[in-house]
């Protein structure tokens, strides 16, 4: 009887693991490789990378929300929470950073990527960065790439050289998400980008899933910038991820293991974003991983940083020819040195917050804005102000 119970428990645990595919990027690349007969990059490519100590790169993002029902049409707030998670994780500002075991603390990296929603659409008009598209498709098959094709109910990627395209949709089966890698850009520009199931995009505190804190995107963006899984080759070749500061780990780690866990004669860095643990239990990239990503950005994806329609780098964006805007910081009314003109206010993610016509009283009521930094855009340029 006890034996039977064990078998049932074992089968159940296998089944529950089988229900989730934390990441399908490796499988996706196999499909691409077989289908189109091209050579994927060498996994164990380990070389010296250029790592500027004060890296600070803007990455413009367009989020395509493909929805067939209201539930799939996730809120703006969910999307903003995802941008915030990415920005925290890629700048070592995540709350878990102090809990990383001492032996790994010296290799924690501040990658220095700033993600923002694009400010302009393909015609150069002001845009929220969130492209909502209704689809007849109730869900999408993972590797068929239908979500990336308008003729199959998806949406074609925006200029892949200038934008990081993220498709958010209902994925069939067990997959949370998958990404292309940099060398796919040359073989399949029409597929370049990241796909994430709508349930796992952004922070959803009402969800009971252990993948509700936006780390699926953190992980997939790692692939997009050429990172491999830390467990890629088990115990050989530093784990096959081209990084010797991520200890080799024999298998992917699921759940939320306590420290230390040992395999391949060293303690596993289970809290690395490129392992498979729960969202709450992954918390760091290493210096080598940061080097790989920056190298990928500067080698394959340079147009992303050349792209000027990202407003997170607030100071670069702000005009030098001044008009008078005061007081700054402001509490309720902003005085603006213009009359009979339109002004637009963006938040630091490039999201349009306000669009108003200013009459001859030069005053704009900003009392409803929450505290923070904003960009005000008028004919003469862009200006930064702080709302208190």
The token duo for 361 is: 């009283």
Per CB under 5 A, residues contacting Zn ion are: 23, 25
CB of 236 to Ca ion, least distance (A): 10
Can residue 241 be called a binding residue for Ca ion (CB under 5 A)? yes
Burial class for 376, CB neighbours closer than 10 Å (0-12, 13-18, 19+): buried
25 binds, among Zn ion, Ca ion, none (CB under 5 to 8 A by kind): Zn ion
Prior bond of 329 cis (ω within 30°): yes
Residues 6+ apart with CB under 8 A from 8: none
Our answer to whether residue 220 is catalytic in this structure is: yes
Given a contact cutoff of 8 angstroms between Cβ atoms, the answer to whether 129 and 164 are in contact is: no
- Indicate which single residue of 185, 227, 243, 376 sits in contact with Ca ion (rule: CB under 5 A): 243
Nearer to Ca ion, 131 or 246 (CB): 246
160: left (phi over 0), alpha (psi -120 to 50) or beta: alpha
- Judged by beta carbon, residue 145 or residue 241, the one nearer Ca ion is 241
CA distance 383 to 203: 30
Of residues 85, 119, 246, 309, which one binds Ca ion by CB under 5 A?
246
Taken in order 160, 163, 168, 169, is the CA torsion positive or negative? negative
What is the per-residue binding string for Ca ion in 209-238, x denoting contact by CB under 5 A?
-----------------------------x
Rounded Cα–Cα distance for residues 165 and 13 (Å): 35
Please say which residue, 243 or 336, places its beta carbon nearer to Ca ion: 243
Choose among Ca ion, Zn ion, none what residue 241 binds, the Cβ cut-off being 5 to 8 Å by kind.
Ca ion
Task: Please report whether residue 239 would count as binding Ca ion according to CB under 5 A.
Answer: yes
Residues paired with residue 187 on neighbouring β-strands, in sequence order: none
Closest approach, Cβ 250 to Ca ion, in A, equals 12
Which residue among 199, 220, 228, 291 is the active-site one? 220
Q: Which is nearer to Ca ion, 191 or 223 (CB)?
A: 223
Return residues touching Ca ion (CB under 5 A). 238-239, 241, 243, 246
Catalytic residues: 220
């Amino acid at each position: 009887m006890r034996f039977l119970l064990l078998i049932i428990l074992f089968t159940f645990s296998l089944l529950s693991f089988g229900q989730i595919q934390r990441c399908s990027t490796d499988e996706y690349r196999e499909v691409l490789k077989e289908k189109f007969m091209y050579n994927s990059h060498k996994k164990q490519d380990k070389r010296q990378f250029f790592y500027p100590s004060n890296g600070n790169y803007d990455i413009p993002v367009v989020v395509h929300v493909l929805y067939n029902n209201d539930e799939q049409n996730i809120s703006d707030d969910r999307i903003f929470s995802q941008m915030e998670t990415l920005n925290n994780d890629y700048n070592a500002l995540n709350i878990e950073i102090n809990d990383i075991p001492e032996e790994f603390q010296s290799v924690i990296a501040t990658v220095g990527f700033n993600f923002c929603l694009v400010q302009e659409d393909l015609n150069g008009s002001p845009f929220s960065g969130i492209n909502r598209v209704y689809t007849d498709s109730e869900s999408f098959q993972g590797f068929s790439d239908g979500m990336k094709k308008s003729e199959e109910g998806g949406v074609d990627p925006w200029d892949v050289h200038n934008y990081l395209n993220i498709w958010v949709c209902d994925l069939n089966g067990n997959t949370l998400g998958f990404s292309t890698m940099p060398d796919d850009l040359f073989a399949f520009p029409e597929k370049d980008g990241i796909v994430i199931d709508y349930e796992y995009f952004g922070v959803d505190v009402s969800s009971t899933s252990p993948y509700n804190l936006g780390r699926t995107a953190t992980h997939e963006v790692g692939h997009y910038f050429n990172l491999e899984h830390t467990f890629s080759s088990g115990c050989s070749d530093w784990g096959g991820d081209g990084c010797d500061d991520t200890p080799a780990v024999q298998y992917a780690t699921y759940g939320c293991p306590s420290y230390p866990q040992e395999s391949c004669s060293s303690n596993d860095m289970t809290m690395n974003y490129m392992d498979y643990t729960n969202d709450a239990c992954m918390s760091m990239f290493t210096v080598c991983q940061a080097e790989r990503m920056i190298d990928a950005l500067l080698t394959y994806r340079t147009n992303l940083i050349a792209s000027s329609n990202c407003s997170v780098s607030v100071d670069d964006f702000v005009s030098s020819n001044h008009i008078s805007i005061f007081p700054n910081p402001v509490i309720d009314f902003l005085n603006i040195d213009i009359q009979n003109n339109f002004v637009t206010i963006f938040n630091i993610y490039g999201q349009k917050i306000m669009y108003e016509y200013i009459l001859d009283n030069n005053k704009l009521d900003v009392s409803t804005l929450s505290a923070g930094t904003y960009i005000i855009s008028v004919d003469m340029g862009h200006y930064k102000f702080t709302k208190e």
